[in-house]
Amino acid sequence: MSPVAVITGGAGGLGQAFAAQLVAESWQVVLVDLPTALATLSPASDRVERVRCDLTDEAAVAAVCAGISADYPAIDLVIHNAGVTQIGLFSETTLASQRRVMEINYFGSVRVASGLLHAVRAGRGTHLAISSVAGFAPLCKRTAYAASKHALNGFFSSLASEEAQHDVKVVIAAPSFVATNSGRLDAGTDGIGRPGAATDGFDEMSPQRAAEIILDGWRRGRRFVPVGRVATLGWLINRLSPRLYHWLMMRKIRD
């Protein structure tokens, strides 16, 4: 029987890259995303199932997870990839936007992890959380985004200690900049957009390469996978000297 993977944010560039690599290895893949996002994809193969869901809708997520668990009682891999980015000074960001980013980036993953908990246990599988450099270090003009990714890291790091007794693994990946959306943020979004909208080309990596690095790190048994030069150096510098990290971050912003 083929191994099973569930990918949230499955219609995005990174989600599609994960799916393509897993399907090439004969995995059965379930893509979860908004109806409008899934509608943009080309026809699926018999190894790819598409499930429409808004991860901010608690009842909808519970129903979708129940359906997936019924179809696939043992799940090998859940990639918590759904998320949005956010740019803007805290003084110019509404509380509603702060809450929305948390609902998608943090609570969306928590809902899916809860709904698929027993199926992942049955498969002795892995929760693979797609975080960010902003999950372990500060990021100027990204207060909501950084808060959501710090929360994501804290949740999955803690979940790892609880689920180890069930032979379930938890991996956190931290990409820097992945070229999943070549456009800038749309006007009127209060700084919120799909990942990649804020990429400035610095240390930019293709979603295919990012997915390859992340999956390789998972297979090697790594619990934390920094992706890209910025992520790797940022993690090291912030651990050794938070003050130096802050100085470098502000210099990059000024440049």
Q: pLDDT tens per residue, the chain (255 residues)?
A: 899 999 999 999 999 999 999 999 999 999 999 999 999 998 878 999 999 999 999 999 999 999 999 999 999 999 999 999 999 999 999 999 999 999 999 999 999 999 999 999 999 999 999 999 888 888 888 999 999 999 999 999 999 999 999 999 999 999 986 655 533 444 445 777 766 444 444 557 899 999 999 999 999 999 999 998 888 787 788 777 878 877 777 777 666
pLDDT value at position 45?
Answer: 85
- pTM of the predicted model, to two decimals? 0.89
* Strand 28-33 versus strand 4-8 pairing type: parallel
pLDDT of amino acid 201:
47
Rounded Cα–Cα distance for residues 169 and 205 (Å)? 26
The CA distance from 250 to 255, in Å, is: 9
Q: Which residues are catalytic?
A: 145
pLDDT attached to residue 188: 47
Residue 201's Cβ-count burial label (10 Å; 0-12, 13-18, 19+) is exposed
pLDDT at 189: 59
The label of the residue with tokens 């998972």 reads: 218
Give the neighbor-by-neighbor strand order of the sheet with 77-80: 48-52, 28-33, 4-8, 77-80, 126-130, 169-175, 224-227
Q: What pLDDT shows up at residue 195?
A: 60
pLDDT at 134: 86
- Look at residue 244 in the predicted model and tell me its pLDDT: 82
Q: Which residue has the tokens 């270090």?
A: 137
> Which domains occur in the chain, in start order?
4-254 (3.40.50.720)
pLDDT at 180: 58
